[in-house]
Structure 1
Amino acid sequence: SARAEKRSDVGKATVIGFITVLLFLVLVNVLSLGIMTQPELANLQNPSLAAVLEHIVGPWGALLISIGLAISLLGALLS
């Protein structure tokens, strides 16, 4: 934020980033209900998004989510 031309740009970027992440979160949750029924979703193992993506695109979808989860956990562990 110290390198920004205007301090207001930092606030705008923060709000835009927050709204974008919130939108993705809502879309993932709502669209999952459009793909599978509520009882099917309730019986999924963790990570449940991997099973939803596997249902949509096949086994590589679950692999993609699992790899992303592993990278995220390693990043959290290293920090």
Structure 2
Amino acid sequence: MSGKPTKVLRKALGANVRTERHRRALTQESLAEQLGITPRYLAAIERGERNLTLDSIEALAAQLDVDPHSLLACP
């Protein structure tokens, strides 16, 4: 199995997180602090470089007040 489907999902997740963060006028630093992660780690999520667990996606969605499924939606 190639990593392409996973890469597509990571990129979609990152783009959706960035969109929601911008929609709420949050900096990476402020959202990272709310999540208890480093801004560098959040930046890697937004670039699609991190493979998050479902629990992490759920926590991120809760912090952004969105449905977790919306963060995984591909364009």
TM bucket by the smaller chain?
0.3 to 0.5
- Greater radius of gyration (CA): 1
Which has a greater percent of helix? 1
TM norm structure 1: 0.40
